[in-house]
């Protein structure tokens, strides 16, 4: 079990980045990985913060979370003898930096600028490649610095996506329990409880999150960090990723470019909750309260695309037993499920 050594969450904490790195004993060269938009937002501020340190910093921008981008970051880090990688941004930057650091055998620090998914703290990186999305084993960040002032300025849609990824833990845990019962897969009660707690917290304050404000952002950030830690405790993404995530990944192929990861997970959670016999209407209402989509059309999905993704989902990770292995949907029943839950 490996967990972050330091987690710093609060308003206006970005200037503490330099002292945080020194407290952890870092020296030498560091490579900052970010997207172009985030780089334009924060580079000058971070440069000023790090100018007072003995760390020489370089920047590299990535456009997507792919194997090619990971290799490009690795090559740049080797070329400049980097001793530390920092992921600054949303999902793609953090995941690329995390996996590159793991392969290089150097530490990784997470500095999220949005609260869109739990990758900011988990030991897994979602990287596209080999014709499918894949969750690669890496290591959790040695430190996380989440400045609420920075995150609250991100587009609201990203926060809503983070809520979708968190509420998805409800069905992910049920799928994990089912796998334990049917195929005797290991089930960790503590990790499952921690992931489920994160989901229930967000559901309980979903209306506050939807109204905006720093308190709601902080709730989501802390819940995302806790969910990522749950995956670290479990040693797998099981407490955080189930049939609803398989549905989201299937949509990456069926309808590429439509919707954010957490948005698609939220839609999947509504439907998978019904299959599990859970209170799917409460889940749907929580997503709606938080400003997340509850209908496929909200993110441009067609009815047939939803049905096709439901059918394809079990094949995305055939080794992962979920409710979809029990139910075995066909096209007609897939459409009926999506219609009954008002996803279509």
Could you report the per-residue pLDDT of 43-89, keeping only the tens digit for each?
A: 999 988 888 777 888 999 999 889 999 999 999 999 989 999 999 99
- Whole-number CA gyration radius for the chain: 19
CA distance 105 to 34: 20
152, 170, 192 - which closes a domain: 152
Same-domain status, 14 and 80: yes
188 and 45 within one domain: no
Across-strand partners of 125? 136
Last residue of some domain: 100, 125, 152? 152
Here the tokens at position 256 are 């590429």
Do 263 and 304 lie in a common domain?
yes
Query: Does residue 126 share a domain with residue 220?
Result: no
CB 34 within 8 A of CB 93: yes
Do the Cβ atoms of 195 and 173 come closer than 8 Å? yes
Which of 152, 168, 203 terminates a domain? The answer is 152
Q: How far apart are CA 149 and CA 338, in angstroms?
A: 38
Domain that residue 262 falls in? 156-340
* Domain-located, residue 1: no
- 133 shares its domain with 254: no
pLDDT exceeds 90 at position 263: yes
DSSP state of 38: H
Q: Are residues 106 and 164 in the same domain?
A: no
My answer on whether 47 and 81 are in the same domain is yes
Q: Distance between CA 274 and CA 212 in Å, rounded?
A: 29
CATH of residue 34's domain is 3.40.50.1970
List, for residues 201-257, the tens digit of each pLDDT value: 999 999 999 988 899 999 999 999 999 999 999 989 999 999 999 999 999 999 999
Structurally, the chain folds into a number of domains equal to 2
Mean pLDDT check: name the lowest of 112-116, 132-136, 171-175, 336-340. Answer: 132-136
Q: Considering the entire predicted model, what is its pTM?
A: 0.93
């Amino acid at each position: 079990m490996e967990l972050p050594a330091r987690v710093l969450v609060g308003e206006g904490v970005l200037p503490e980045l330099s002292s945080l790195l020194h407290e952890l004993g870092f020296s030498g060269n560091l490579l900052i990985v970010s997207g172009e938009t985030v780089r334009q937002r924060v580079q000058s501020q971070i440069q000023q913060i790090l100018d007072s340190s003995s760390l020489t910093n370089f920047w590299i921008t990535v456009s997507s979370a792919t194997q090619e981008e990971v290799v490009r970051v690795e090559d740049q880090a080797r070329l400049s003898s980097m001793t530390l990688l920092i992921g600054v941004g949303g999902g793609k930057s953090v995941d690329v930096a995390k996996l590159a650091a793991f392969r290089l055998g150097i530490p990784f620090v997470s500095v999220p600028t949005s609260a869109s998914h739990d990758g900011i703290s988990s030991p897994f990186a979602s990287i596209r490649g080999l014709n499918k999305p894949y969750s690669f084993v890496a290591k959790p960040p040695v430190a996380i610095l989440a400045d609420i002032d920075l995150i609250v300025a991100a587009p609201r849609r990203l926060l809503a996506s983070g809520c979708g990824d968190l509420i998805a833990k409800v069905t992910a845990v049920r799928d994990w329990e089912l796998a334990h019962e049917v195929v005797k897969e290991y089930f960790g009660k503590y990790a499952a409880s921690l992931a489920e707690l994160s989901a229930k917290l967000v559901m309980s304050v979903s209306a506050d999150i939807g109204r905006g404000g720093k308190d709601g952002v902080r709730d989501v950030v802390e819940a995302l960090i806790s969910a990522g830690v749950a995956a670290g405790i479990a040693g797998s993404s099981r407490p955080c990723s189930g049939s609803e995530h398989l549905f989201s990944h299937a949509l990456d192929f069926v309808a590429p470019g439509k919707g954010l990861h957490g948005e698609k997970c939220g839609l999947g959670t509504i439907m998978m909750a019904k299959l599990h016999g859970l209170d799917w209407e409460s889940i749907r209402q929580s997503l709606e309260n938080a400003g997340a989509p509850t209908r496929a059309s909200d993110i441009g999905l067609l009815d047939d695309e939803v049905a096709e993704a439901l059918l394809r989902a079990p094949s995305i990770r055939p080794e992962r037993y979920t409710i979809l292995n029990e139910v075995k949907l066909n096209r007609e029943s897939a459409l009926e499920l999506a219609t009954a839950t008002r996803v279509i």
